[in-house]
Structure 1
Amino acid sequence: MAKTASAAKPKVRLSSVANAMRLLKSFSDDNYEIGISELAKQLRLAKSTAHRLASTLVEAGMLEQNAETGKYKLGLVVFELGSLVRRKMDFSNEAKPVLMHLREKTGETVHLAILESASIIYTNTLESKQSIRMTSDVGLRRSAFASAEGMVLLAFQSKQEIELLLKSRDPSVPKEVAANTAALAKEFATIRNRGYSIDDEESEPGLCSIAAPIRDYTGNVVAAVSIAGPAQRLNKKTLQAFAQDVVEAAEAISSRLGFRHIRPIRLEQKAAAVAEFF
């Protein structure tokens, strides 16, 4: 009999852990605060059992209880654990399926870039399968002020960060750009308003590109995705046609990094206000 009782204890513990996991998974964007009666109903548990589980999770910091309504929501410990997972994810691997889809859809070379000071660095590049195409290598550096990826990344930096870059002696900051901050601020406002940046042969004759910002779970812009190709294919009409594809790719990667939109963003939706930079 003693052996039977001893063998039963691990099962009870495992059952409690499994129910605790099921309870945590009950929460979602649409159901972020739940009462104990609803939790018991969803989990098909006695109300007393659901209450005991919830109380234990509150003590552990994995749930919080609303003092006014008595309902429960996910706690900071869950957020911290989720953040740790996101930080450890391989950014390039998370983006790769989306980049491949974007290349197939547009037929052009696709880039993923990050900002480092006044430069961008390509972390991923998938070349177009067409005979005439833009070629570039992973690790290649370019001036952020002379690329669609760089401009979209700079547009979402703080006023202080931009001012420091312009005052620096970084060779990647063109003198004419540093001398005309009003024009730069206007361009950044345009980029933020429409949600993407276009390089229409401005940095290099015969080459056009379009880039959109990627956000992480905190909402910060951490990278940019772009397509690039010869001007004879990526004319103004084609760039506009591909704009939504690039923005949707950026949103898809952002989602994989934990960013959640309140509602789907379309290019025709304009920002209500634009922050002043200078």
Structure 2
Amino acid sequence: MKVVNSLIENCFAIIELLAIEAGSTRLSDVADRLELQRSGAHRVLSTLVKLGWVEQDDATDLYRLSLKLPAIGYRFMQAASLPDVLQPVLDKIARESRELIRLAALAGSNLTTIAHAQGAQGSLICRSRTFPVLPLHVSASGKVWLATLSREAALKRALEAGLGKPGSYGPREIRTVDEFMLELDRTTTRGYGVALEEAEEAIGAVAAPIVTASGQFVGALAIVAPAFRLNEMRLAELGEQTKAGAAELALLWPLRSVAGPDTANDEAAE
């Protein structure tokens, strides 16, 4: 059984799990997924229900995240002027690429999806799963962040994200340390990250790092598409589009405080 470090840590772990699952979840599933005792998980969930962060269905006893957290997140994004400042850039890239665009921001030790734009049309619209917190070792955006860190720090992050524990993501999920290190080298050389059916089946993505003039990594711009459309030529084309878009976003970036002024430098020094 997992050693409990703090109730606060378990509280946020449960909130993150419910956010990823999105639907209703059983108490036993929450406890098992997070390796918590069921009595402890029940206490935390009961408190979250009382505070309005979580809802419990009276008929089924299943738990789901309330709209309180997304509402707060929306208010924060509005206060940070994100829609006004960055959304037009995302919309332009979506039109040019004719694919789904996703923007992730570095918040502490996580990459969090904060905005998107849809450029695909007709019946070939990409409907990929949205990861509120990106799985670092199998996502294109995660790879470009990890490539900016020291190899030791990157490996530590990847192991924490599930590297070496296959079965949680897509059929081409990176499974070994050697594969992971080789992928980081390729990402560094190209200047953009690629993930083909790694995070989820039939879906691929290309991402570029958003780096401010001071050299601080603050987020990643990704183009997401059905994997069958991503041949070598198309990957190279989208890679250049993400790099150009990320450079434009870096000039406008209003969320430096999300990552903190010294996050990137601290990580690189690990």
Q: TM-score, normalised by structure 2?
A: 0.54
Given the alignment of the two structures, is residue 219 of structure 1 paired with residue 211 of structure 2, yes or no? no
Amino acid at match of 1:248: A
- Between the aligned residues of both structures, percent identity stands at 23
The AA in structure 2 aligned to 1:175 is K
Larger relative contact order (Cα-Cα within 8 Å, sequence gap ≥ 6): 2
Q: Show CA shifts across 1:66-117 (max 9, x none).
A: xxxxxxxxxxxxxxxxxxxxxx954554321211110000110000013457
Give the counterpart letter for 2:139 in structure 1. Answer: S
What CA distance in whole angstroms lies between the structure 2 residues aligned with 1:154 and 1:114?
14
> Aligned residue for 1:210?
206
Offset, 1:150:
1.0
Q: Tell me, in whole angstroms, the C-alpha distance in 1 between the residues paired with 2:178 and 2:202.
A: 27
Query: Residue 251 of structure 1 aligns with which residue?
Result: 247
Who is 2:193 aligned against? 197
* Alpha-carbon distance between aligned partners in 2 of 1:225 and 1:156, rounded to the nearest angstrom: 15
Moved more, 90-99 or 226-235: 90-99
Instruction: Find 2:92's aligned residue among 80, 101, 107.
Output: 101
Structure 2 residue aligned with 1:175: 165
Structure 2, unmatched stretches of 5+, are 1-78, 167-172, 255-267
Contact 1:112–1:225 (CA<8 Å) still a contact in 2? yes
Shift of 1:217: 3.6
Instruction: Please tell me whether the aligned partners of residues 191 and 243 of structure 2 are also in contact (alpha carbons under 8 angstroms).
Output: yes
Structure 1 CA distance, aligned partners of 2:216 and 2:226? 31
Equivalent AA in structure 2 for residue 97 of structure 1: P
Aligned 1:38-187 pairs, distance under 5 A:
90-91=81-82, 93-115=84-106, 119-130=110-121, 131-135=123-127, 140-166=132-158, 168=160, 172-175=162-165, 180-187=176-183
For the Cα contact (< 8 Å) 1:128–1:134, is it kept in 2? no
Distance change in 2, residues 1:233/1:138 (3 Å): closer
Q: Provide closer, same or farther for how the CA distance between residues 123 and 242 of structure 1 changes in structure 2, counting only shifts above 3 A.
A: same
> For each residue in 1:28-62, what CA deviation from the matched residue of structure 2 results, as whole angstroms up to 9, or x when unmatched?
xxxxxxxxxxxxxxxxxxxxxxxxxxxxxxxxxxx
Structure 1 pair 92–215 and aligned structure 2 pair: CA distance change class (3 A): farther
- Cα drift, residue 174 of structure 1: 4.2
Query: Computing the radius of gyration over CA atoms, which structure comes out larger, 1 or 2?
Result: 1
Deviation at 1:246, TM superposition (A): 1.2
Paired residues of 1:227 and 1:246 also in contact (CA < 8 A): yes
Cα root mean square deviation, aligned = 3.3
Using the alignment, how far apart are the partners of 1:202 and 1:136 within structure 2? 12
Deviation at 1:125? Answer: 1.2
Mark the CA change 1:146 to 1:115 in structure 2 (over 3 Å): closer, same or farther. farther
Paired letter, 2:133 = R
8 Å contact from structure 2 (residues 163, 175) kept in 1: no
- Mapped to 2, the partners of 1:157 and 1:103 lie a distance apart of 29
TM-score for the superposition, normalised by structure 1: 0.52
Counterpart for residue 237 of structure 2:
241
SS of 2:229's equivalent?
coil
Contact 2:128–2:203 under 8 Å retained in 1? no
Q: Counterpart of 2:215 in 1: which secondary structure?
A: coil
The code of the aligned residue for 1:145 comes to: H
User: Contact 1:134 / 1:228 at 8 angstroms: preserved in 2?
Assistant: yes
CA distance in 2, matches of 1:156, 1:117: 15
Within 1, Cα distance between the matches of 2:175 and 2:197?
A: 22
**CA distance in 2 between partners of 1:135 and 1:125 (Å):** 12
Distance 1:166 1:230, change over 3 A: closer
